[in-house]
Amino acid sequence: MSLDFRKGAEARRSCILFCVLFDLSLFPPPGSSEEAVSPLQQSFMIPKKEINMVSDMAKWKRSQAYADYIGFILTLNEGIKGKKLTCEYKVSEPVKKLVDLLNTLDRWIDETPPVDQPSRFGNKAFRTWYAKLDQEAENLVAEVIPKHLVEAAPEVAVYLKESVGNSTRIDYGTGHEAAFAAFLCCLCKIGVLRVDDQLAIVFKVFNRYLEVMRKLQKTYRMEPAGSQGVWGLDDFQFLPFIWGSSQLIDHPNLEPRHFVDERVVNENHKDYMFLECILFITEMKTGPFAEHSNQLWNISAVPSWSKVNQGLIRMYKAECLEKFPVIQHFKFGSLLPIQPVTS
């Protein structure tokens, strides 16, 4: 799919409006008591598949889950606009616990080295690593959420388990990435993460998640799930390109044309998620950038980061959120319900 950057201003206005509305309904305000904002009367449930055939996609697009998910993505997109990864921001106790959780997953990779096997890709040691997560996920989540919300742990843990790749196919893709965003969205909905955690959610938690996923991909040589090859944006990720382009909006020096410059990437990747993604791609792939990453090469010709950002949001909806092969694996529970949006 080629990026259409027309109607950028109109899309941006609707994005901001959506973010404001979503922000009020999802994120508990800072300083509010946990008991006051947490759905104590909520009946939690184990999320399950609801999208079983292409015709079910209509249910997804009008569901509360879709509205909350895309609203969450757009709210964070607006919240980090123009800010560096290295800027100062609040790091709350739940954010620290989430980083500890991700550090645990990272440590397990070190404790589970690849095995010798004939196949170069899809190292079977990943299944051993995943089995440990499958067993421990609820306990890991219970360490993050307060005790009065412990009943939510089994529901929220499903999204964590879905976010690291498929243990049968030993692959990873944007559907797994979406599960991690859904995991964070659920933590917002039960009041664990709050409005003033927005920068830390992206810069501290999601960025650490990316580091762990890259380590998984390299260690176990995971296959890209549903990759479009040279015609896709990236083999594994999408969200860091959206949020990373938002970081670069109105940058005084860096323009989209600069991200194909190796020197610029090396000098600035620690500040900008988009450039960190470009660095990882160039480490993993050989040959001319225009050949192995044609979509990104085309994006480098777009005149502004604002247009890049809005084009990527439209592309994400079309290529990920509206594609049956991706969404058929999404799971729905009480926090991200399949029921139609109520307002």
What was the pLDDT predicted at 290?
86
What pLDDT score does 39 carry? 47
82 phi-psi bin (left φ>0, alpha ψ -120 to 50, beta other): left
145, 194 contact by CB (below 8 A):
no
What single-letter amino acid sits at 272? Y
Please write the tens of the pLDDT for every residue from 84-130. 999 999 999 999 999 999 999 999 999 999 999 998 899 999 999 99
**What pLDDT is attached to residue 343?**
63
> Would you state the structure tokens that stand for residue 115, as one six-digit string?
């095995």
CB 256 within 8 A of CB 249: no
* Each residue's pLDDT tens digit, 36-59: 344 445 799 999 999 999 999 999
Handedness of CA 274, 277, 279, 285 (dihedral sign): negative
Residues 15, 313: contact at Cβ < 8 Å? yes
What values do phi and psi take at 324, rounded to 5? Answer: -55, -45
Task: Determine the residue type at 102.
Answer: L
The two structure tokens encoding residue 129: 């690593």
Contact 340, 63 (CB under 8 A): yes
Model-level pTM?
Answer: 0.90
Query: pLDDT at position 11, please?
Result: 41
Please name which of 311, 165, 164, 163 lies closest in space to residue 242, comparing C-alpha atoms. 311
CA-nearest of 327, 313, 258 to 1 is: 313
- Do residues 137 and 184 touch, judged by C-beta distance below 8 A? no
pLDDT value at residue 70: 97
Which tokens in the block code for residue 167? 């243990």
Q: Which residues of the chain have pLDDT under 70?
A: 1-41, 227-231, 343
**CA 159 – CA 163 distance, rounded (Å):** 6
Q: Please report the domains of the chain, with CATH numbers, ordered by start residue.
A: 93-332 (1.20.120.1150)
What pLDDT shows up at residue 33?
45
Q: Which of 180, 189, 246, 184 is nearest to 216 (CA)?
A: 180
Two tokens, residue 134 = 């499958």
Give the pLDDT of residue 233: 84
Q: Per residue, what are the HEC states of the chain?
A: CCCCCCCHHHHHHHHHHHHHHHHHHHCCCCCCCHHHHCCCCCCCCCCEECCCCHHHHHHHHCEHHHHHHHHHHHHHHHHCCCCCCCCCCCCCHHHHHHHHHHHHHHHHHHHCCCCCCCCCCCCCHHHHHHHHHHHHHHHHHHHHCCHHHHHHHHHHHHHHHHCCCECCCCEECHHHHHHHHHHHHHHHHCCCCCHHHHHHHHHHHHHHHHHHHHHHHHHCCCEECCCCHHHCCCCCCCHHHHHHHHHCCCCCCCCHHHHHCHHHHHHHCCCCHHHHHHHHHHHHCCCCHHHHCHHHHHHCCCCCHHHHHHHHHHHHHHHHHCCHHHHCCCEECCCCCCCECCC
| pLDDT in the model for residue 41 | 59
Dihedral of alpha carbons 213, 218, 224, 229, sign: positive
